[in-house]
Structure 1
Amino acid sequence: MIDLRSDTVTRPNEAMRQAMYQAEVGDDVYGDDPTVNALQALICELTGKEAALFLPTGTQANLVALLTHCQRGDEYIVGQKAHNYMYEAGGAAVLGSIQPQPLDMADDGSLPLDKVAAAIKIDDIHFARTRLLSLENTHSGKVLPLEYLKKAFEFTREKGLALHIDGARIMNAAVALDVPLSEITRYCDTLTLCLSKGLGAPVGSLLVGSKEYIHRANRWRKMTGGGMRQSGILAAAGIYALENNVQRLKEDHDNAKWLEQQLRGIGLEIAVPGAQTNILYVRQSAEQAAKLGPWMREHGVIISSGPLTRIITHINISRQDLQKVVDLWQRFLTNQA
C-alpha cells in the first residue's frame, strides 16, 4: 500500500534494524544506557543545547516540556491549531492544571507577537500566571522564518517568558531553510524533536534544553511513565536517523513539490502556500472526498480524504509511487465527470 496519511507510518530500513540489534544497552532510568546517552549527546551537539532527554513519544515529550516549564495555575500561550494544544488530549490542563491560552495563528504558522503581548496576563490574583510561549515548527508543513524566531525570542526575554518549540518536524524546517539545526534552536529555551516521523525511526522523541531544566524534566518523565530501561535498542534507531536521514528529507520536500505541480495539472485546488516541506493540502468537495478515500484504498493508496485532504511524503514513498497516485486521481476525476 502507498500510505500518504502521515510520515509517522515510516518503517526502519535494514541498516537501522541492524543498528538496533547491535545496540549496547544499560538501564536508562539509572542513566546507565550508553546508547541513550550517546543519542542525547548527539542532539545536544546538533542543537547547541546543554542537555537532552529521550522519551517514547512526541506527545509525552511536549507534555513533560509543559509540566517542567509551568506550575499548577500557570498558563502557556499557544496556537489555536497547534499540536500541543489541539491534538494531545488536553494533557497539560488535565494532568498539570496548566491553562492554555490559544491564539489564532498567522497564515505562515507564526503567532503574531502583538496578539501574544495582549494575551499576557498582568500580575493579579484573578488571572493565571503567563509563563511560556509555545511555537510549532513546522506547522502544517509551514516553516517559521528565522527573522520571526529571532524577534519572538527577544520578545520573550523582554516579557519574562520562556520559549518552547514543538519541533516534531524541525529537521524539515532546517533542511528547507538550508541551515544547521542550531541556527533555528538558538532562538528557543527548549524544544522537542520527533525521531519517528520523516527521520524514519520506529519510535521516540527528544526534549532538549539546559542542564537544570532537563534535570527537572527527568522527574516528570518518570512520573508520566516515560522512564524506559534498556531503551538503547530504540535510541540506536534515533542515532542512525540523525546521522543518515536528515539531508534526505529534501527528497521528501522535492517529491511534495512535484506532486503539487502534477495535481494542479489535473485540475485540483492546492491550499496556500503549497508544499514548503513534505506536507501538501488539497481542497475538494465533501461529496467528492467521501468517495475518494475508499476508491483510492481499493487501488492500493491510503489517504486521509476530506474537504481539506492532507498528503505527506516520506522515506517510504518514491516518485514512482506518487506518479501512480496522480494517475489514479485523474482516473477518479474522469469517472466522476
Structure 2
Amino acid sequence: MSAYTTANVSPSAIDAARQRVAAQLKIELVTPSHVEDNEKKRKEVSRSFLSDTITVPTKEMYEYAVNSTLGDDVYHEPSTLALEAHVARITGKEAALFMSSGTQSNQIGLRTHLRQPPYSVLCDFRSHVYRHEAGGISFHSSAAVTPVQPTNGHHITLEDVKANLIENDGDLHAAPTAVVSLENTLDGGIFPQSEIIAISEYAHSHNVAMHLDGARIWHVAAETGTSLRELCDPFDTVSLCLSKGLGAPVGSVLVGPKEFIRKARHFRKLFGGAMRQTGLISASAAYALTHNFAQLPRVHALARRLQAGLEYAGVDILKPAETCMVFFEPKSIGSTVAEISRRAAELPEPLGVYSGRLVVHLQTTEAAVDDLVRLVHKIATEKRAEGFVKPSKQVKGATAFKYTSKL
C-alpha cells in the first residue's frame, strides 16, 4: 500500500491539506502600481545605451500578441508555424525553426552541420559564436575553433579564409574546417556582400558549409536596401534574432534546407529547447517584423548623431557608427568610461552607460543622446580647466556637428 494513501484520512482533512498547499504556491507578480512601474521601465530603457536586447514590448505589441493562437509548438502551433514559414520565405530558404535565443539558434545550427569529429569552425575572433556563447561550440559539438583576426581590422576577407581554412587532405594532426561562420553585422559593422560571396564560393568549392550569425542582419537590410534573400543566399544556414534590433521580447529563427531544419528540430528537443504555447512570442515577433523594421534607419541616424556629438566634444571614436553602435575612448578628453558612467547615472534623469560600446535602439530617444553628449562635453570642458591638454590631432567630424540647443 502506498505511504501516501488517503484511505483512512477524512475528506475534510484532505481538503484542509490541499488548501495549505495551495496557499504555499500563491504568488502575486502584478502589483497595484504595475502600470506606473512599466512606464518607469520604458523610460529607463529609452535612456540606456547597454544593448538593443533591453527593448521592451510596446502596448501595441502586447495587444497584438494576446490575440495569437494557443497551440503547442511541440505538436502544432499555428502562429509559430506561420512565422517560421514567413521567415523561410523572405530569406529564400526551404524551412525555418523558431528558437528561444540567438545563442541556441547558432549552436543548434552549428551542431546540425557538424556530424563526426574531428572538425573545426572558422570564424572571426570577435564573433558571438566564439566569444559570447559560453564555449558552446566545443561543448555541444566537440569542435575546435579557428579564430581569425581580420587583416583589415574590419571583416574577414577571402584571403583571411584561404590562409586559415584547414583542408581535409588526410593530415592527421589537424581538425579540418567543416563550417565557416560569419557574422553580419559584427560590432555594428556591415560585412561587404561581395566579400561574403567570394568566401562562400571558396568554402563551397572545398565542401565547407557556410553559416551566418545574422542576429542583426535587419540593420544591414535597412541600411543598404538589400533584401534578406540576397543577404542570406551565400549561406547554407542563417540565424536571425528577433529580440535584437527589431524589439521582440524573445526569440530567434534558424533557416536552412528542409532536411537540415528537421534535424535541427530534433536537436532542439534534445537540448531542452522545445517550447509549448509559443503563440504569444511568435505574434510579438511578427509584430516586430511588420512594424519595427521600418524604424531602423532612424536608429542609424541617431547613432551617427551620437558619434558626431562625441567627436564634437573631443572624444576619440574607435569604431564609427555604421548601424546602431558607437565605440569610443574618452582618454582624449582626460576622462574614463568609468567616470562618464558614474556621472551619467547621477543625472536628474539618469543615463545608462556601461562600457566603451554605446548601442542605440528602437526606444532610444533624441533627448538621451543629446543629454549624453552634453555630459561628455561638460566633462571635457572641466578637464581642460583643470589643465588637461588634449593630444594634437584633428577630431574627425567636429566642425560638422550642430546642436539646436546650447551644450
The one of 351, 365, 368 equivalent to 1:301 is 351
SS of aligned partner of 2:294? coil
The one of 134, 149, 156 equivalent to 1:89 is 134
Q: Partner of 2:382 in structure 1?
A: 335
Q: Find runs of 4+ consecutive structure 1 residues off by over 4 angstroms.
A: none
Q: Partner of 1:20 in structure 2?
A: 65
Q: 1:108 touches 1:142 (CA, 8 Å); kept in 2?
A: no
Counterpart mapping for 1:215-230 below 5 A:
215-230=262-277
Q: Partner of 2:107 in structure 1?
A: 63
Q: Distance in 2 between matches of 1:260 and 1:110?
A: 21
Counterpart mapping for 1:1-337 below 5 A:
1=44, 2-30=47-75, 32-71=76-115, 72-107=117-152, 109-121=154-166, 122-272=169-319, 274-285=320-331, 288-299=336-347, 300-305=350-355, 309-337=356-384
Q: Distance in 2 between matches of 1:83 and 1:59?
A: 8
Q: Distance in 1 between matches of 2:151 and 2:278?
A: 39
Query: Which of structures 1 and 2 has the larger relative contact order (alpha carbons within 8 angstroms, sep 6+)?
Result: 1
Query: TM-score if structure 2 supplies the norm length?
Result: 0.79
Shift of 1:287: 5.8
SS of aligned partner of 2:210? strand
Q: 1:108 touches 1:143 (CA, 8 Å); kept in 2?
A: no
Q: 1:184 to 1:108 in 2, by over 3 A?
A: farther
Q: Distance in 1 between matches of 2:98 and 2:123?
A: 24
Structure 1: gaps spanning 5 or more residues: none
Code of the residue aligned with 1:296 in structure 2: it is A
Q: Distance in 2 between matches of 1:25 and 1:123?
A: 52
Q: Distance in 1 between matches of 2:290 and 2:154?
A: 28
Higher fraction of strand: 1
Code of the residue aligned with 1:223 in structure 2: it is L
Deviates more, 1:318-327 or 1:50-59: 318-327
Shift of 1:156: 1.5
Q: How many pairs align?
A: 332
SS of aligned partner of 1:302? coil
Identity of aligned residues (%): 35
Q: 1:108 touches 1:144 (CA, 8 Å); kept in 2?
A: no
Deviations 1:104-131 (Å, cap 9, x if unpaired)? 1244642222232232323333321321
Q: Distance in 2 between matches of 1:314 and 1:108?
A: 25
Q: Distance in 2 between matches of 1:236 and 1:106?
A: 42
Q: Distance in 1 between matches of 2:269 and 2:70?
A: 19
Q: Partner of 2:25 in structure 1?
A: none
Q: Distance in 2 between matches of 1:150 and 1:108?
A: 19
Q: Distance in 1 between matches of 2:366 and 2:159?
A: 42
Q: 1:143 touches 1:173 (CA, 8 Å); kept in 2?
A: yes
Structure 2: gaps spanning 5 or more residues: 1-43, 385-407
Shift of 1:6: 0.6
Q: 1:137 touches 1:166 (CA, 8 Å); kept in 2?
A: yes
Deviations 1:229-279 (Å, cap 9, x if unpaired)? 00111111111111111121111001011111111111111124x111011
Shift of 1:336: 3.5
Deviations 1:271-322 (Å, cap 9, x if unpaired)? 24x11101111112396222111111111011123xxx11111111122221
Code of the residue aligned with 1:221 in structure 2: it is R
Shift of 1:73: 2.3
Deviates more, 1:40-49 or 1:68-77: 68-77
Q: Distance in 1 between matches of 2:287 and 2:170?
A: 47
SS of aligned partner of 1:12? coil
Q: 1:123 touches 1:129 (CA, 8 Å); kept in 2?
A: no
Q: Distance in 2 between matches of 1:276 and 1:288?
A: 24
Q: 1:220 to 1:106 in 2, by over 3 A?
A: farther
Q: Which of 1 and 2 has greater Rg? A: 2
Q: 1:62 touches 1:192 (CA, 8 Å); kept in 2?
A: yes
Deviates more, 1:94-103 or 1:82-91: 94-103
Q: 2:329 touches 2:336 (CA, 8 Å); kept in 1?
A: no
Deviates more, 1:96-105 or 1:280-289: 280-289
Alignment root-mean-square deviation, CA: 1.5
Q: 2:161 touches 2:199 (CA, 8 Å); kept in 1?
A: no
Shift of 1:197: 1.3
Code of the residue aligned with 2:60 in structure 1: it is A
